[in-house]
Amino acid sequence: VGTKLPAVGTTIFTVMSALAAETQAVNLGQGFPDFHCDPKLLDAVTAAMAAGHNQYPPMPGIPALREAVAAKIAALYGRSYSAATEITLTAGATQAIITAVLAIVRPGDEVIVLEPCYDSYVPNIELAGGTVVRVPLTPGTFRPDFDKIGAALSPRTRAIIVNTPHNPSATVWTEAEMRQLEALLAPTDVFVISDEVYEHMVYDGARHESAARFPGLAARSFIVSSFGKTYHVTGWKVGYVAAPASLTAEFRKVHQFNVFTVNTPMQHALASYMADPAPYLDLSAFYQRKRDLFAEGLARTRLKLLPSGGTYFQCVDISEVSDLGEADFCQWLTREIGVAAIPLSAFYGNGFDQRVVRFCFAKKDETLRHAIDRLAKL
Ligand code: PMP
Ligand code: GLN
């Protein structure tokens, strides 16, 4: 065919979910909740449809939801974005990220990614004709190494993609780290794509350090989030981008031709549901309890837990349990133990294998207990 993405196969999430279904394993691989969203949110969808909100919305999204997003960002992170010119609703974070990349990356531009990274970033950059510059997060701790990031900057660097709370490692950037990024980029024209889809899942009293809190970052950032993560509706595929007006204008030039608009009734439902901040303010406590329940069970196995400071992921070191590499271990675990997980190597371009796999704990307590019963054999 003359493929544009020679290194790309089917995503690991699709592969592991299919294997989990085929083997009837407990699926702690792909990140999605196995429980229902708030029934109030479902009622709001039905109401929106019955009220006739079923045709194309405005290209950047309905004003009420853009205003609700702007109000949330102002309340939590202290920066005011114009709903009219600086917030755009997207078909999930996935479309937000590729659209931002296509809007700014020109052939030959370099884009820095911090590995391990979410699996869509690299193909997005390649589709835009950009050159991927991979900088490792510090092995073992997954913290950003600003010497390495600084060394990767060049006159051709167009953008850097950052992600906190971080998938897959579950680390959360500190205020000091965000300030270091801000200082490092200050003398440059580099844009930031700040993937903050897990912004409302931060544990142990830490706070989410949105790029919106830092003037020098906010001025150059496309801040991306996703209602799918926050409201337990990953299949709805609604997210948003907050970016200064000049960046948003470029973003919308692309957005109007890759989706044009995002489905209308869900936007109306989300707009009315967002009036109550409790669901997102309570989310960290909700997931911290699940993290602890799962961690307690894992502590009885020979899997070694890595810290989970945010996201709904728990990484574990498998080296005491098995001699297999990560990918083979995940296959074995799914088939023989009946629990699906994701190998961290899927988040590296060179398949780097550090004997660590990722579980998703966005599951009913009974699902987590069921998984723990099976994992107890390890
Ligand atoms: N970025 C990260 C880090 C993610 O984990 C995900 C969800 N898998 C996405 C982006 C995509 O989000 P969405 O489902 O809203 O497209
Ligand atoms: N973001 C989810 C994860 O990391 C999966 C999304 C997807 O399947 N593309 O598991």
**pLDDT tens digit string along 84-101?**
999 999 999 999 999 999
pLDDT at 79: 98
Q: Is 134 exposed, middle or buried (0-12, 13-18, 19+ CB in 10 A)?
A: middle
**What are the tokens at 165?**
């709370």
pLDDT above 90 as % of the chain: 99
List of domains in the chain: 12-30+282-375 (3.90.1150.10), 40-276 (3.40.640.10)
Which ligand number lies closest to the CA of residue 358? 2
In the predicted model, what is the mean pLDDT of residues 133-149? Answer: 97
- With a CB cutoff of 8 Å and minimum separation 6, the contacts of 204 are 288, 309
The whole-angstrom separation of Cα 49 and Cα 290 is: 34
* Per-residue pLDDT tens over the stretch 177-233: 999 999 999 999 999 999 999 999 999 999 999 999 999 999 999 999 999 999 999
29 pocket-lining for ligand 2 (C-beta < 6 Å) = no
The atom of ligand 2 lying closest to the CA of 29 is 10
pLDDT band at 1 (very low <50, low <70, confident <90, very high): confident
236 pocket-lining for ligand 1 (C-beta < 6 Å) = no
pLDDT band at 168 (very low <50, low <70, confident <90, very high): very high
Centroid of ligand 1 to alpha carbon of 93 (angstroms): 5
The whole-angstrom separation of Cα 100 and Cα 105 is: 8
In the predicted model, what is the mean pLDDT of residues 295-312? Answer: 97
Are the C-beta atoms of 239 and 93 separated by less than 8 Å? yes
The atom of ligand 2 lying closest to the CA of 168 is 4
Centroid of ligand 1 to alpha carbon of 121 (angstroms): 11
Is 281's pLDDT higher than 90? Answer: yes
The atom of ligand 2 lying closest to the CA of 30 is 10
In the predicted model, what is the mean pLDDT of residues 296-306? Answer: 97
The atom of ligand 1 lying closest to the CA of 238 is 15
The whole-angstrom separation of Cα 87 and Cα 58 is: 12
Centroid of ligand 1 to alpha carbon of 70 (angstroms): 20
Is 45's pLDDT higher than 90? Answer: yes
146 pocket-lining for ligand 2 (C-beta < 6 Å) = no
In the predicted model, what is the mean pLDDT of residues 244-260? Answer: 98
In the predicted model, what is the mean pLDDT of residues 138-156? Answer: 97
In the predicted model, what is the mean pLDDT of residues 338-366? Answer: 97
Which ligand number lies closest to the CA of residue 360? 2
* Per-residue pLDDT tens over the stretch 312-338: 999 999 999 999 999 999 999 999 999
User: 3-state secondary structure string, the chain?
Assistant: CCCCCCCCCCCHHHHHHHHHHHHCCEECCCCCCCCCCCHHHHHHHHHHHHCCCCCCCCCCCCHHHHHHHHHHHHHHHCCCCCCCCCEEEECHHHHHHHHHHHHHCCCCCEEEEEECCCCCHHHHHHHCCCEEEEEECCCCCCCCCHHHHHHHCCCCEEEEEEECCCCCCCCCCCHHHHHHHHHHHCCCCCEEEEECCCCCCECCCCCCCCHHHCHHHHCCEEEEEEHHHHCCCHHHCCEEEECCHHHHHHHHHHHHHHCCCCCHHHHHHHHHHCCCCHHHHCHHHHHHHHHHHHHHHHCCCCCEECCCCECCEEEEECCCCCCCCHHHHHHHHHHHHCEECEEHHHHCCCCCCCCEEEEECCCCHHHHHHHHHHHCCC
The whole-angstrom separation of Cα 277 and Cα 294 is: 27
Centroid of ligand 2 to alpha carbon of 239 (angstroms): 14
